[in-house]
């Protein structure tokens, strides 16, 4: 994948010519701000950051249990790089093209650590994006911090904004998702009575506690709060309990397979209840394929949706042409992230990862593909969090995801079920 990089000029030119080139370059670099001095890289600048393609690392699980979303992310990353390159690349670097280097982290935290390390040491990277799954991104982010390579990610874990300076999160955080979900419950009924069911490991427990803490402040009553063991064979007993609780909205913090079973069982029971399936697998095209018509009217939250603005719709059309599916939240978010990187590279006029980090930290966009996010603006705070970031409430309507919340981002009315 890195084979197309030119070897140092020193090695394949005539000796005296080479030393002259070297001297000239050194002088040039020293004058333009001393990229050379920027790190302990020594002769690295000689390899010619300026004219060569700019390497962007992409860490995604394309095999293993998270492969499905990971593969979609890679497709989106390729689309994004093509879009930047077709638009003329990075102009301040002489129209340098972005070069995507994809690495499979195999849905595994240990592999993520070694692959991130390998990617950074084996290639001259300007920035990295990945890994979509928070558990993996946390690890990759640690490695990037130590290696001083900026990482930009759609992962929502609030942990990514703690004590890090090379990690950038342009989209809504997990803590914001809970609040949005509670507010959406009030769209259904002013007297929101919510049943919260959650799988009893880290993901479900932490998210449900967030909901419980925020509920009183949002004027939402939680009438049932029930952990369950993931991977059950039958959702009927659980739904039987939800029915008895008298709730009018159901929050299900579940892995995909459980959620499919829960939704189907609710329909079988004939229970009249609004379901909010949260984010993750719920807002993926595959969910609708599995649940079918029963998914119509189900609500969820996402950090990006393909109807947020016209640019997003263009990206969606192109992504659909390439993959046959609509651009899911991570896919669309990734295109925006790539354009944020392009914006930073443009302003940094350098492929040095440290300069790219500097430029990212002063990013401030409100138009174009880089600003294609709920809220429409991106500017990073000192914690790497987009100060304008907010989640968007979505609903399955006619086999597609429509943005319905908040008012500013709503592109379709709430479908009553």
Partner 1 sequence: MWETLAQAVINGLLIGGIYALVSIGVTLIFGVVKIVNFAQGEFVMIGMYISFFLATQFGIDPLVSLVVSMPVLFLAGVVIQHFLIRRVLGPNDMPQIFLTFALSLLLLNLSLMLFSANYRTVHTSYSDSAWHIGGLYIPVAKLIAFAVAMALSGLLWVFLRTTDLGRAMRAASQNRDVAMLMGINPNRVFAVAFGTALALAGAAGSLLMPFYSAYPFVGQVFVLMAFVAVVMGTLGNVMGALVASLMMGIAESLGIQFVGADSGLIVVFGLLLLTLAFRPSGLGARRGR
The stretch among 74-82, 163-171, 259-267, 352-360 that binds partner 1 (CB under 8 A) is 259-267
Considering only 113, 264, 320, 354, the residue that binds partner 1 (CB under 8 A) is 264
Closest CA to 257 of 416, 68, 61: 68
- Residue 131 has a CB neighbour count (10 Å cut-off) of 31
Coil, helix or strand at residue 342: helix
Closer residue to partner 1 (CB): 69 or 348? 69
Element (H, E) at 55: strand 54-60
Q: How large is the C-alpha radius of gyration of the chain?
A: 23
Minimum CB distance to partner 1, residue 123 (Å): 28
* Residue that has been written with the tokens 């978010």 in this structure: 333
Q: Is 289 in the site for partner 1 (CB under 8 A)?
A: yes
Give the distance, in angstroms, between the CA of residue 317 and the centroid of all CA atoms in the same chain: 19
Considering only 19, 110, 268, 362, the residue that binds partner 1 (CB under 8 A) is 268
Coil, helix or strand at residue 134: helix
Q: For the segment 351-380, give every residue that binds partner 1 (CB under 8 A).
A: none
Closer residue to partner 1 (CB): 5 or 267? 267
Beta strands in 298-377 (DSSP E): 299-302, 364-365
Q: For the segment 68-107, give every residue that binds partner 1 (CB under 8 A).
A: 68
Closer residue to partner 1 (CB): 131 or 180? 131
Closer residue to partner 1 (CB): 261 or 351? 261
Q: Is 270 in the site for partner 1 (CB under 8 A)?
A: yes
- Residue 205 has a CB neighbour count (10 Å cut-off) of 14
| Count of residues touching partner 1 (by CB under 8 A) | 37
Backbone angles phi, psi at 107, to 5 degrees: 55, 30
Closer residue to partner 1 (CB): 260 or 378? 260
Q: Is 67 in the site for partner 1 (CB under 8 A)?
A: yes
Q: Are 275 and 250 a contacting pair, CB within 8 Å?
A: yes
Distance between CA 361 and CA 104 in Å, rounded?
28
Considering only 17, 24, 32, 200, the residue that binds partner 1 (CB under 8 A) is 200
Closer residue to partner 1 (CB): 65 or 191? 65
Q: Is 121 in the site for partner 1 (CB under 8 A)?
A: no
Beta strands in 215-371 (DSSP E): 221-228, 249-253, 274-276, 299-302, 364-365
Q: Is 286 in the site for partner 1 (CB under 8 A)?
A: yes
Distance between CA 378 and CA 376 in Å, rounded?
7
Distance between CA 6 and CA 391 in Å, rounded?
43
Minimum CB distance to partner 1, residue 320 (Å): 19
Give the distance, in angstroms, between the CA of residue 13 and the centroid of all CA atoms in the same chain: 44
Cα torsion 332, 334, 339, 340: sign: positive
Distance between CA 251 and CA 199 in Å, rounded?
11
Distance between CA 210 and CA 220 in Å, rounded?
13
Q: For the segment 45-64, give every residue that binds partner 1 (CB under 8 A).
A: 64
The stretch among 88-96, 282-290, 311-319, 375-383 that binds partner 1 (CB under 8 A) is 282-290
Alpha helix positions (H), 148-223: 174-188, 202-214
Q: Is 290 in the site for partner 1 (CB under 8 A)?
A: yes
Minimum CB distance to partner 1, residue 101 (Å): 24
Q: For the segment 224-253, give every residue that binds partner 1 (CB under 8 A).
A: 226-229, 231-234, 236-238, 240-241, 244
Closer residue to partner 1 (CB): 105 or 152? 105
Closer residue to partner 1 (CB): 266 or 315? 266
Closer residue to partner 1 (CB): 67 or 349? 67
Closer residue to partner 1 (CB): 198 or 405? 198
Binding residues (CB under 8 A) for partner 1: these are 64-68, 197, 200, 226-229, 231-234, 236-238, 240-241, 244, 256-257, 260-261, 264-265, 267-270, 286, 289-292, 294
């Amino acid at each position: 994948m890195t084979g197309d990089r030119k070897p140092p000029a020193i090695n394949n030119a005539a000796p005296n010519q080479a030393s002259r080139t070297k001297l000239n370059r050194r002088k040039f670099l020293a004058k333009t701000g001393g990229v050379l001095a920027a790190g302990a890289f020594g002769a690295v600048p000689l390899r010619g950051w300026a004219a060569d393609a700019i390497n962007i690392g992409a860490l995604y699980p394309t095999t293993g249990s998270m492969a499905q979303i990971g593969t979609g992310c890679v497709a989106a990353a390729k689309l994004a790089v093509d879009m930047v390159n077709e638009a003329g690349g990075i102009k301040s670097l002489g129209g340098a093209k972005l070069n995507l280097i994809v690495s499979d982290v195999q849905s595994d935290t240990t592999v993520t650590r070694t692959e991130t390390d390998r990617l950074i040491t084996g290639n001259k990277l300007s920035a990295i994006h990945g890994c979509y799954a928070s558990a993996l991104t946390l690890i990759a982010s640690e490695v990037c911090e130590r290696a001083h390579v900026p990482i930009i990610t759609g992962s929502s874990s609030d942990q990514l904004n703690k004590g890090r300076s090379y990690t950038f999160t342009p989209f809504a955080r997990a803590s914001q998702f809970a609040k949005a979900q509670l507010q959406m419950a009030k769209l259904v009924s002013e007297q929101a009575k919510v049943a919260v069911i959650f799988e009893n490991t880290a993901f479900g427990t932490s998210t449900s506690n967030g909901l419980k803490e925020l509920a009183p402040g949002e004027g939402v009553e939680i009438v049932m709060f029930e952990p369950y063991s993931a991977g059950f064979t039958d959702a009927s007993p659980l739904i039987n309990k939800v029915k008895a609780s008298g709730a009018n909205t159901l929050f299900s913090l579940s892995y995909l397979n459980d959620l499919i079973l829960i939704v189907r069982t609710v329909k079988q029971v004939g229970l009249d209840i609004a379901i909010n399936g949260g984010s993750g697998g719920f807002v993926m095209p595959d969910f609708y394929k599995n649940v079918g018509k029963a998914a119509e009217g189900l609500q969820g939250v996402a950090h990006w949706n393909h109807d947020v603005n016209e640019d997003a719709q263009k990206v969606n059309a192109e992504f659909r042409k390439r993959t046959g599916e609509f651009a899911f939240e991570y896919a669309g978010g990734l295109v925006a992230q790539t354009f944020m990187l392009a914006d930073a590279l443009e302003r940094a006029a350098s492929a040095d990862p440290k300069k790219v980090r500097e430029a990212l930290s002063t990013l401030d966009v409100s138009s174009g593909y880089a600003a294609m996010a709920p809220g429409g603006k991106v500017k990073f705070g000192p914690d790497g969090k987009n100060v304008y970031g907010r989640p968007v409430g979505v609903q399955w309507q006619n086999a597609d995801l429509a943005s319905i919340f908040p008012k500013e981002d709503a592109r379709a009315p709430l479908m009553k079920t």
